[in-house]
Amino acid sequence: MSQKDNTIYITTPIYYVNDVAHIGHAYTTIIADTLARHARLTGNKTFFLTGTDEHGQKIETSAAARGKTPKEYADEVSGKFRQLWDDFDITYDKFIRTTDEEHKTGVQKAFQKMFDKGDIYKGNYEGNYCVSCETFYTDAQLLDNAGCPDCGKTTTIVKEESYFFALSKYEDKLLKLYEENPSFILPKAKAKEIVNFVSSGLNDLSISRTSFDWGVKLPSSMNDDKHVMYVWLDALLNYITALGYGNDDKNMEFWPANIQLVGKDILRFHAIFWPAFLMSLDLPMPKHIAAHGWWTRDGEKMSKSKGNVVDPKEIADAYGLDAFRYFMLREVPFGQDGDFSQRALMDRINSDLGNDLGNLLNRIIGMSGKYFDYKITSKDVEKFHKKELDEINTLLDGSEEFFYNLQINRFLEEIWKVLTIGNKAIGDYEPWNLMKDGKTDEAMALVALIVNIMAKVSVLLKSVMPHKVSEIESSLGMIVNTESYNKLIKEKELFSETTITKIDALFPRIEEELIAIAESTSTVTESSAPKQICKNEEKIKIEALEDEANLVTIDKFFETTLKIGTIVEAEEVPKSSKLLRLQVDLGEGRNRQILAGIKEYYSAESLIGTQACVVANLKPAKLMGMESEGMLLAAKDENGLHLLRPEAPKKSGTKVS
Ligand code: ME8
């Protein structure tokens, strides 16, 4: 993909409706959305497709297990995917469902065309099938004679009449495709596996099933009602039926696709079957099939059946959608696996987003307000800051190359280098001293340099963090669109003049204690949701500022009830590196459950029978799905953490004052 292409077509895989969306799905969709937004920004006519994959044995079985018809079940889950993407402001141009009538007609037309071409024949299939992966395997591919090599589940033997696609016919053509188009498969390193697989010989592919019903029927001309199409044939064709293939061809101008994003688990289907189907249909090849890695938890692929999924909505609600987008795109190089951790996310928020980006905007607001009543002109920037401008323009120029090669993490790194130049320039030129020395023009040039840096960076960050950049735009008095992209990035122009507007902090800091709590929880919970906590924290900070000496009245202090509690039971919380689950007697006739992040400092056993000072009127909170009804007081320094305890035993529930 490049800014020179006129039409850009970007696709995600269509997601199976047997599962709820997790961050793996969100990852693919967010990358695609970022590419699509950037393609539009740079002036390309763009089509971005996503959707749901609704047929096949897996869905039929999942629906039956819930007492629903496959269609009812598909409607429900497909609706949830779509809702999630809408909540995430994903700018898809079409959300396709494989149960859409036009899709089914298009698939039947394609089947007919392949049949007429002589690429489809009828035979009998006998072999191993994994329902979970909807994939056929040869005996040699199985693990321990029965296990699916991809997901490990037990495969079943399928023995039935079947139509076959003559995949073997396309072996040489596929090898030629890979050879002549070294970036057909991205990252290029992944192409090797595919080339090896194809070179070792391709079997013809069974493309219909008779043992269940939930799929697209064969074209009526085949007069063979008992077959439904193999779900991967049906699913892969969505990329062209979505453009009107086999119907009105309305959007076929977008074919071939520029980038088809897939997870590495489904690269084989997209890099072998899909181009072979397209060759059979006499259609051109997509420019890139780009395979990203997996998001894992503790090194294992996230999946519902493993029970280790992270809900993208919870994360986005807790930390902010744009911070989540930034994190996903920045944290892991495209193609590699990444282990999801809230700590890493919060570090990115505090460091990259809060310190480097948010703080630079704050400094713009502060300096422009204090020195220039918020009115900024760029007239002397060239005169005083030619060197910085050249550096910035070179970095920004080069950054887009990374973007188009899907090295989005590197693209972001280049942008951050530009922010560093801005932050450093303030320290180097000390505008406060320039003002003191009466060098107002120089101070203005410096502030305007920073404003221009922020403006240029915003243009390139718009596709990554569209909502936060909108806030920056309103602060800088600019609009990011194709025109400003051309001026500020392509033509390397500067802003002439603008008026800065004060806005709230873009990324409020998440405090260390919250990071520790979240780190000890396996999934985000209400109590570890920093957005809410941050708001409270901000409130506390503002109240503290209003009270100049930062003092509290005695009444205010005693709004907190402190009591002596006796720890009656203690046990480790499984899967948490920090938490102990305690039952604490506060003299109330029942014990309270308190989750304390002290596992690194105390063994559960050593606590039983001891006392500690407890905050007794803390609003209950959930940690790792368990309620915590209080908090133990502790002090931590370089010698470790110690609980605060009474000097001599006290009755459980004794008030601390
Ligand atoms: O395979 N990390 O659908 P699907 C990163 N319907 N990405 C992940 C992931 C993880 N842990 N888990 C899933 C299908 N994904 C077929 C596709 S296309 C014609 C048919 C992402 O619901 C990744 O993109 O199992 C993966 O390829 C896609 O979700 C598969 O989703």
201 Cβ contact list (under 8 Å, min separation 6): 168, 171
322 within a domain of the structure (yes/no): no
pLDDT at 535 (0 to 100): 40
Report the alpha-carbon distance of residue 585 to residue 568 in Å, rounded: 7
Residues 570-593 have pLDDT tens digits of 998 887 778 889 999 999 989 999
What is the phi-psi region of residue 163: left when phi exceeds 0, alpha when psi lies from -120 to 50, beta otherwise? beta
301 within a domain of the structure (yes/no): no
Report the alpha-carbon distance of residue 354 to residue 462 in Å, rounded: 17
Q: For ligand 1, is residue 236 a contact (CB within 6 Å)? A: yes
pLDDT at 179 (0 to 100): 97
522 within a domain of the structure (yes/no): no
Same domain as 275, residue 165: yes
Ligand 1: which of 10, 14, 15, 300 to mutate, most ligand atoms within 8 Å of CB?
Answer: 15
Same domain as 355, residue 283: no
The CATH number given to whatever domain includes residue 566 is 2.40.50.140
Q: For ligand 1, is residue 469 a contact (CB within 6 Å)? A: no
Tokens of 244: 């009107």
Ligand 1 center–CA 466 separation, angstroms: 25
Instruction: From 428, 424, 474, select the one nearest 453 (Cα to Cα).
Output: 424
The CATH number given to whatever domain includes residue 78 is 3.40.50.620
Same domain as 42, residue 138: yes
Residues 148-164 have pLDDT tens digits of 888 888 888 888 899 99
Instruction: Count other Cβ atoms within 10 Å, centred on residue 642.
Output: 13
Q: For ligand 1, is residue 264 a contact (CB within 6 Å)? A: no
Ligand 1 center–CA 13 separation, angstroms: 7
Q: For ligand 1, is residue 114 a contact (CB within 6 Å)? A: no
Same domain as 459, residue 362: yes
Cα Dmax for the chain: 91
Instruction: From 557, 641, 539, select the one nearest 600 (Cα to Cα).
Output: 641
Same domain as 547, residue 568: no
314 within a domain of the structure (yes/no): no
Same domain as 194, residue 122: yes
Q: For ligand 1, is residue 59 a contact (CB within 6 Å)? A: no
Residue 463 · residue 38 · CB < 8 Å? yes
- Which of 276, 292, 308 is the last residue in one of the domains? 292
Ligand 1 center–CA 253 separation, angstroms: 27
Same domain as 599, residue 545: no
Report the alpha-carbon distance of residue 593 to residue 626 in Å, rounded: 9
Give the nearest ligand 1 atom to 239 CA. Answer: 19
- Minimum CA distance residue for ligand 1 atom 18: 13
Q: For ligand 1, is residue 334 a contact (CB within 6 Å)? A: no
Residue 261 · residue 12 · CB < 8 Å? yes
The CATH number given to whatever domain includes residue 404 is 1.10.730.10
Report the alpha-carbon distance of residue 458 to residue 629 in Å, rounded: 44
Q: For ligand 1, is residue 500 a contact (CB within 6 Å)? A: no
Q: For ligand 1, is residue 10 a contact (CB within 6 Å)? A: no
The SS3 call for residue 17 is coil
429 Cβ contact list (under 8 Å, min separation 6): 442, 446
Ligand 1: which of 10, 25, 234, 294 to mutate, most ligand atoms within 8 Å of CB?
Answer: 25
- Minimum CA distance residue for ligand 1 atom 21: 25
Ligand 1 center–CA 283 separation, angstroms: 25
In total, how many domains does the chain have? 4
Q: For ligand 1, is residue 265 a contact (CB within 6 Å)? A: yes
Same domain as 490, residue 536: no
Same domain as 445, residue 373: yes
Let me know if 360 is exposed, middle or buried by CB neighbors in 10 A (0-12, 13-18, 19+): buried
Distance of alpha carbon 648 from the chain centroid: 52
Q: For ligand 1, is residue 107 a contact (CB within 6 Å)? A: no
308 within a domain of the structure (yes/no): no
- Minimum CA distance residue for ligand 1 atom 10: 24
Residue with tokens 């949701």: 529
Q: For ligand 1, is residue 56 a contact (CB within 6 Å)? A: no
Residue type, 218: L
Q: For ligand 1, is residue 530 a contact (CB within 6 Å)? A: no
Q: For ligand 1, is residue 312 a contact (CB within 6 Å)? A: no
Ligand 1: which of 19, 27, 260 to mutate, most ligand atoms within 8 Å of CB?
Answer: 27
Same domain as 363, residue 443: yes
Q: For ligand 1, is residue 11 a contact (CB within 6 Å)? A: no
15 within a domain of the structure (yes/no): yes
2 within a domain of the structure (yes/no): no
Instruction: Count other Cβ atoms within 10 Å, centred on residue 500.
Output: 23
- Which of 226, 257, 292 is the last residue in one of the domains? 292
Give the nearest ligand 1 atom to 301 CA. Answer: 11
pLDDT at 53 (0 to 100): 97
Range of the domain at 585: 562-643
Report the alpha-carbon distance of residue 342 to residue 496 in Å, rounded: 41
- Which of 227, 262, 292 is the last residue in one of the domains? 292
Task: Write b or e for each residue in 8-43: b if 16 or more Cβ atoms lie within 10 A of its Cβ, otherwise e.
Answer: bbbbbbbbbbbbbbbbbbbbbbbbbbbbbbbbbbbe
Start-end of H helices in 294-407: 312-319, 321-331, 342-348, 359-372, 381-404
Q: For ligand 1, is residue 13 a contact (CB within 6 Å)? A: yes
- Minimum CA distance residue for ligand 1 atom 30: 15
The SS3 call for residue 165 is strand
Ligand 1 center–CA 3 separation, angstroms: 28
Same domain as 488, residue 540: no
pLDDT at 88 (0 to 100): 98
pLDDT at 9 (0 to 100): 98
Ligand 1 center–CA 263 separation, angstroms: 6
Ligand 1: which of 11, 16, 50, 153 to mutate, most ligand atoms within 8 Å of CB?
Answer: 16
Instruction: Count other Cβ atoms within 10 Å, centred on residue 400.
Output: 18
Tokens of 288: 């890139």
Ligand 1: which of 130, 294, 298 to mutate, most ligand atoms within 8 Å of CB?
Answer: 294
The SS3 call for residue 585 is strand
The residues of the chain scoring below 50 in pLDDT are 522-550
Q: For ligand 1, is residue 301 a contact (CB within 6 Å)? A: yes
508 within a domain of the structure (yes/no): no
Same domain as 535, residue 455: no
Q: For ligand 1, is residue 297 a contact (CB within 6 Å)? A: no
The SS3 call for residue 549 is coil
Report the alpha-carbon distance of residue 514 to residue 527 in Å, rounded: 9
Ligand 1 center–CA 58 separation, angstroms: 14
